[in-house]
Homo-oligomer: A and B are copies of this chain.
Amino acid sequence: QSLKVGLIPGDGIGKEVVPATREVLKALGKDIPKPEFIELAAGFETFQRVGVALPAETVQALREECDCAIFGAVSSPTKKVVGYSSPIVQLRKELDLYANIRPVVSVATNDSAARKVDLIVVRENTECLYVKDENLMIGERGREARATRLITEYASKRIGKMAFELALGRPRRQLTIIHKSNVLSVTDGLFRETIRSIPQLPESAGRYDGVRIEEQIVDSAVYKLFREPEIYDVLVAPNLYGDILSDAAAALVGSLGLVPSVNAGDSFVMGEPVHGSAPDIEGKGIANPLATIRSTALMLRHLGYERPAVRIDNAVTQAIRSGFVTPDCGGKYSTQDVLGKVVDFIESS
Residues of A within 8 A of B (CB): 76, 80, 85-86, 89, 129-130, 132, 134-136, 139, 141-154, 157, 180-187, 189-190, 193, 217-220, 222-223, 225-227, 240, 243-244, 246-248, 250-252, 256, 276
Contacts and interface: CB of A to CB of B under 8 A. Distances in A.
Contacts of A142: 152-154, 157
Q: How many monomers of this chain does the complex have? A: 2
A134 B85 CA distance: 26
B183 A130 contact: yes
14 contacts: A86-B183, A89-B183, A142-B154, A144-B153, A146-B150, A146-B187, A147-B149, A147-B187, A220-B247, A220-B276, A222-B248, A223-B248, A225-B251, A227-B251
Given A139-B152, A183-B130, A186-B136, A256 B223 contact: yes
A147 to B, nearest CB: 4
Contacts of A135: 186
Contact of A217 (B76, B154, B184): B76
Nearest to A190: B145
B244 A226 contact: no
Contacts of A147: 148-149, 151, 184, 186-187
Contact of A244 (B132, B190, B244): B244
A151 B145 contact: yes
